[in-house]
Structure formats: structure tokens, C-alpha cells
Amino acid sequence: MKFKELAVYFQRLESISKRLDMTDILAELFQKASQDKKVNIEEIVYLSQGHLLPSFKNIEFQMSEKLIHKSIVLATGKPDELIEDMFQRIGDYGEVAQKLCKIYIENLSITDVYKKLTELVGFSGAGVVVKKTEFLADLLKSISPIEVKYIIRIILGKLRLGVGDPTFLDSLSLAYSGDKNLRKHLERAYNLCCDLGLVAKILFSEGIERIKGFEVIVGCPIRMALAARMPGAKEIIEKIGTCAVEAKYDGFRCQVHKNGKEIQVYSRNLENTTHMFPEIKEGTLAQVKNKNVIYEGEAIAYDPQTGECLPFQTTVQRKRKHGIASMRKLFPLKLFVFDLLYADGDLTDKSYEQRRKILTSVIGKGDVLEVSPVHIVKTARELENIFEESLREGREGIVAKRLDGVYKAGGRNFNWIKLKSSYSGELNDTIDCVIVGYYFGKGLRASLGLGSLLACVYDKKSETFKTIAKIGSGLTEDELVKFKKMLDKIKVNSKPPKVDSLIEPDVWVEPKYVIEVQADEITRSPVHTCGKAQDKDSGYALRFPRTVDKIREDKDAQDATTVNENINLFKMQGRKT
């Protein structure tokens, strides 16, 4: 199959926004590709996602717009100014190059292009910039304009076909069996390895039975289980009965994979953060005896003088690319281990009780890893006591866990229920919102260039972002300036297709950054689209919203609080913990 054909599919996908249509087009693509023996289906999946490998592999082209610009100059012989001028007008180097690159020699297959892009990523050492620009220029000279457009977008990380993971899964099922009934098996496998390409490859080469029996792979991150919310201890006991209660630590989630001496640490959004936390690597090697293990915990910085745990704002400073050694001395980490997903075999289908039993035998004594203490409670009173104690110890609240609950990868469900301290307002939890645009503001704020943010939550069903608030509080002047700079890098000319909004900000941005927002309450509102699908007259809005945490780097746009969670929070309001 030729790459040109794939580019035409990209163009078709780009021109539509309805999920069902996208599913049909992708299914057609996968079906066609699966009949061609020369095609590696995983390459199609990764390229359609805008990558060369699953994103947790952190493969980057390391080519800026400036370098792309140079390659276009080299490939076309057109003057710098003309290209710059076109870019200013069009705002997309993919389209600029498509218009200028007219020389068309080869008819490359998908695998040829995939190999060339892999080669491009692999350049290193002296003269790497020149090597990359020249290599790309040669590639641009040999392919057709439509291919040029999408290759440049992939290299810049801007393919953005708007296809979400559920759409991929539906279309794989449709392509393989003619209906979407296999989606649940494919989704389970995907949640266990976070590698859609691998799932597609196994499906088409080994069949659905292998997918049904899919097990976790040490080294491939597992999509993390998330906690549901309930208003109070009484409701929790009514829902799950006798349960295990652990403190809710306010740090960052780590999923640690040990494969012999190889250690990988994944963040909540499955980024490979191993290099940031050398003590977790050392601690795992020193304290975990089994050869192959996957465990999860919450990392918190502590004061090396007193041993006391430090607040989230301090812990989060450990998430950095540079200055790791000095920060480690200042704020070393402790990892409170709370779950075990693999120990020389897959444990995700075992009950919480069984996993915990094995966990205590797997984690040995030492300075970094500490198994989180558990209390088994039968009554709401007992649960409340532990909740209070946890708050006194400076924790964020508790997480109650169903004793017979399996580890449900990738889902928020009632196997884990979190209960947090009540804030002063009625709403007893923060909302994670995605920024989709900003307003210039008035007065001083106008001079800073940014007055308020348009914020959305995520609607899983339609895979779109629904507006819930305009946020003007919580950011200092310096932060407003920084936010503007950061958002301007991802601004787009019109409303992104995945955003559902009745209001128009001064500047639209790609839904990318998640901020944690506190509000006094959730109210009904005709202005916002959150919940409008459920109730045509009125959506939901945040009253007096303010940012409490800046960018939640551990969350992707799709990890924002969902519309359904907001509706549940709305119903829980006013019921005290």
C-alpha cells in the first residue's frame, strides 16, 4: 500500500468531525491494509496517531518549524521571504509545503516512508541539524504534494486528525469482524499495554482469541485505574460494604516497571519519567526482590532534616528535566506503594486483597519505598475516623477500596472511591479543566495580553470538550504573561473541531493544557455546553472558578474531569462529608 493512499485517507478524516463517519473511514483503511501482505498494520496505526511508535516511547523528531522552513527552502529553491509570508498567512507548514513542492518522482510505500521517518529520528552527533534538514529536503523532493503535507505535520507533531482512541478501537473491530462487538476485548488489551499498534498487529496476525487472553507486558505502561467520588462515608459503605481504606497521598502517581535491572517509571499520563526520579529507580532495585514486577504508588517529597512529607506544590518541583541531582538532595522522594499489578505474572485480574498480600512480600525494607498502611473497615463510623485521622496527618483524604475489586485498567469506577476534605465552599473537589481559548481582558489585564481562560471538561461519549467556565482568578500577573506565551504556541485560527462551545473567546487554542480549578459550586447555565446533551435547556457551569494549580502536566486533555463526573458532583453538592 502506498503512502499516498494513506495521505488521502488522512485528508478524508480531516474533513469530517462525526465520530461514526471517522470510524467507517478508518475501518475501510484497516480492512484494505489487512489484505495487503506487505503492509505492517501497526505502522498505519502509529502514523495515523501522528507518531512512529506509541507515545510512551517518547520518540521525537526534534525538528523545529525553523528547520522545516529550511528544508522547504532546500527542496523547492523558493526564497525565504516567500515561504515566511505564506506561513504567516496559512499558519501551517504542511500546507505551505504542499503548495510549493511540485516535484514528484517516487511512489513510496507506507513502509518506505515509515523507514525514512525512523531514519530521520535516528540522526545524532555532529552536524545533526544539517543532516536532518538535507534528508528531509530530499524526501520532500521525491513525494507528491499531499504526502508532503502530512509528513510535515507528523514531524512537527501537528497531524491532529481528531481521531480518539475509542474511534480507533471501534474501527479495528469493524474492520476485523464487520461490527463493533469486539471493542470491549480490544479496549481491555489496549488498556493493558497502551499500544494501539500492537493491539492491531496481534488482532490481524494472530486473531481475536489472542486479544481476549492478552496479558500485561513489563515495560509497556498500563492505563491507570482511577477513583470514583462519593459524598461521604455512609454512601461508600452502602456502595461497597466492608472495604480497605488507605490515606490519599498528595503527590504524583508513579507506575514502576522492573524487568531485571531495567526500571521504567511512568507518570499518570503514561509519560516515561524514569530519568527524573533516580531514587525511585535505586529504591526499586534495592527493595524489590522479584525479577519482573509492576507496582504503583504515590511519590511525595520530604524534608531530609525532619523526615516530614512536603506539600504537593513542593513535590511537583521534582518534575523537571534539568537540575535533577541538586533537587533530589533538597527534596528527596518517598514512594508510598499501594498496588501490585505484576509479580512474575499478571495480577490485574486478582482481587485487591490478593494483590495486597503479595505486595507486602514483594517490597522489602528500605529508604524509598514504603507500603501504604491499610485499615479494613466495616462501618461508616470507622471509615470516618480514619478519614479524620488521615486529615490530621496532613493527607488529602482517603481512598476506600473494594476488597474483591480487580485492577480495572484505564477506568474510573467504584473499585476505588476517594473522599477528600471539604473545602470552604459547597463543592468538595476540584475540577480538572482543559483550556480551549482565552480572552484579552480589560484594563491592566488587556496590557498583559490575557484576561481570562475559556475552560472545558471532557465528554467521553462524543469525545468532545464542553465548556464549563470562564476563569479569570487564581493567576498572578506573571503567570498571566507566561500563560499567554504558552497558549500562543498552540493557538489555532478557528474553533477546534473537538470543542463544543456556544461562546467565542478572542483566541482559540488546541485543547492541550489541563488546569486544576476550584469553584464555590456547580450551577445550571444556558451559556455552557457541559451537560447540555443530557438536558437540552441548560448546561452546567462553575460558580466563582479560580485556578488552584497551574498546569497539571501529569494529565492530558482527555484526562480532564468528565461531563458525567460534573453532573454527579452537582448532585452531591450540599451533602457534607
- Name the site residues for ligand AMP (rule: CB under 6 A): 226-227, 246, 248-249, 253, 268, 298, 338, 372, 399, 418
- Distance, CA of 523 to CA of 105 (rounded, Å): 60
Residue 148 or 419: which CB sits closer to ligand AMP? 419
Closest by CA to 258, choosing from 333, 332, 182, 335, is 335
- Distance, CA of 297 to CA of 265 (rounded, Å): 11
Residue at grid coordinates 481476549: 212
- Distance, CA of 243 to CA of 577 (rounded, Å): 18
Please report the beta strands in 260-387, taking only residues with DSSP state E, as ranges in sequence order.
262-266, 292-301, 333-343, 369-371, 375-377
In the bound state, the residue with its beta carbon closest to ligand AMP is 253
Tell me if 515 sits within 8 A of 435, measured CB to CB: yes
Query: Measuring CA to CA, how many Å separate 565 from each of 235, 401, 511?
Result: 16, 19, 19
Closest by CA to 575, choosing from 457, 468, 431, 429, is 429
Tell me if 352 sits within 8 A of 401, measured CB to CB: yes
- Distance, CA of 222 to CA of 192 (rounded, Å): 5
Look up residue 439 and give its amino acid.
Y
Residue 207 or 373: which CB sits closer to ligand AMP? 373
Residue 32 or 253: which CB sits closer to ligand AMP? 253
Choosing from 4, 132, 248, 555, the catalytic residue is 248
Look up residue 17 and give its amino acid.
S
- Distance, CA of 532 to CA of 525 (rounded, Å): 9
Residue 253 or 550: which CB sits closer to ligand AMP? 253
CB under 8 Å to 149, separation ≥6 — which residues?
7, 94, 95, 97, 98
Tell me if 133 sits within 8 A of 152, measured CB to CB: no
Q: In the annotation, is 116 catalytic?
A: no
Residue 257 or 418: which CB sits closer to ligand AMP? 418
Look up residue 249 and give its amino acid.
Y
Residue 249 or 342: which CB sits closer to ligand AMP? 249
Residue 298 or 384: which CB sits closer to ligand AMP? 298
Show which residues are catalytic.
Answer: 248
